[in-house]
Structure 1
Amino acid sequence: MNKAAIIVAGGRGTRMGSPIPKQYLEIGGTPVLMRTLEVFYQLDSAISLVLVIPETDFALWEELCEKFGFEVPHEVVAGGKSRFQSVKNGLDSLQWEEGLVAIHDGVRPFVAPEVVALSFEKAEVHGSAVAVVPLKDSIRKLTDENKSFYQERQYFRLVQTPQTFSLKMIKQAFDVTELHHFTDDATVFEHQGWQVHLIAGNPENIKITTPEDMEYAQFLLQRQS
């Protein structure tokens, strides 16, 4: 079974307040993006890794790979104007039609290897496998009339990545016009009328977006050590 992972890192990191996009910032002396790629490579070196970044970052990424001696095999693909377009570009770079593909945020370097492995296992059976975690806090639903209503949190989940799919099915799903409610790959898949299969993610699998996230990432790294 062919397996691939598309690592998407097209953001500019404006909320981080750094002149360097968040995916290239260092945690424990290694850029975030390299740590993310290493998780997939160390799990299974046969997984085809596709890194999607802005074309304007190609030279920077090449410099970083040389600087840090990064030798994990991967293909670099130019991102698009939106996450949808970036993922589509990554999918289009895969020449085979049958197999499985995990789509993962480049700034989630703390995904557990067992979650990635489980996502491939369940996607092979169900056609999809999306990592989620339960909510810890109480939640309320807001209305346009500025009112709020209590919601049963056990019926909700926070969505993470990887989101892993049958390659044939997800390529078909992305062969549509982009819509505003395509907030992640699962919503694109679901647009075809297919049910999304959920799997348990790991709480440490945070999406690094703000300076506070970087501080927490340093803590997680120290705890792993």
Structure 2
Amino acid sequence: MAQQLPEYAIIVAGGSGSRMQHDVPKQFIPVAGKPILMHTIERFYNYNPTIRLIVVLPKEQLTTWRELCKEYNFTVFHMMVPGGATRFGSVKNGLDAVMGDGLIAVHDGVRPFVETETIEAAFEAAANFGSGVVAVSPKDSIREMTPEGSKAVPRANYKLMQTPQVFKAGILKKAYEQSEQDYFTDDASVVESIGETITLVEGSYRNIKITTPEDLILAEAFAKV
């Protein structure tokens, strides 16, 4: 029986409160009685209590996060890493804390409702195929913008990307050795650029990224279910 690879989760939480129209960085906004980021960390801990958690935050927010952990008596063990100037730089900093081989999930700190089954499926796909990237089918009709205006495109041909995005450590580290490019919109696009194939895993419409005030209303509702 093959030995199971160590599992890591790099949780990237570099947001501000600007689009939330909030003074508090969005990952620190309370939902159902505690900061969003705590919910997110707990999801990965509940999936695997031995997972190695790496939380990437802007350097100026590290002290605030430590104080919040004390205030809420939050005891799930995790490593804190200062972020970079961009998401690409933040993930790269998180990768520096991963030693040796393993499977690495990269997840948005403000996706607190990812389901255990989704995390498990993404890690399983990465173990078997090198990558396991969560995505869902769009619900709405899609139009492509063209120089002439716009045109309808088949909705079935498209997926909306979510996180976690899980990869074998060697693949992800190699991908992040290159220079950042404008077309790197997520980890899958970074990995794909070095010639690797991306394996998609079915996600959930509950796995929302809390970005705007409307999302907070949904988050409070989801937290009660």
TM class, shorter-chain normalised? over 0.9
Q: What secondary structure does 2:220 align onto?
A: helix
Identity %: 46
In the other structure, the counterpart of 2:144 is 141
Matched, 1:178 2:149: no
In structure 2, the residue matched to 1:15 is 19
Letter in 1 for 2:162: Q
The count of residues paired between Structure 1 and Structure 2 equals 221
Q: Cα deviations across residues 94-147 of structure 1 (Å, max 9, x unaligned)? A: 122x110000000000001100011111100110010000111111111133x1
1:101 to 99, 104, 109: 104
Paired residue type of 1:139: I
2:66 matched residue in structure 1: 62
Partners of 1:21 and 1:111 lie apart in 2 by 20
In the alignment, the residues of structure 2 paired with residue 166 and residue 209 of structure 1 have an alpha-carbon distance, to the nearest angstrom, of 29
TM-score (norm 2): 0.97
Residue of 51, 56, 61 corresponding to 1:52? 56
Q: CA deviation at 1:93?
A: 1.1
Residue of structure 2 in register with 1:112 after alignment: 115
Moved over 4 A (4+): none
Give the match's secondary structure for 2:49. coil
AA paired with 2:119? V
Q: How does 1:142-161 map to 2 (within 5 A)?
A: 142-145=145-148, 147-161=149-163
Q: Tell me what 1:79 maps to.
A: 83
- Runs (5+) with no aligned partner, structure 2: none
Letter in 2 for 1:102: A
Gaps of at least 5 residues in structure 1 are none
SS of the residue 2:27 aligns to:
helix
The answer as to 2:131 corresponding to 1:128 is: yes
1:15 is paired with a residue of what secondary structure?
coil
Aligned-pair Cα RMSD in Å: 0.7
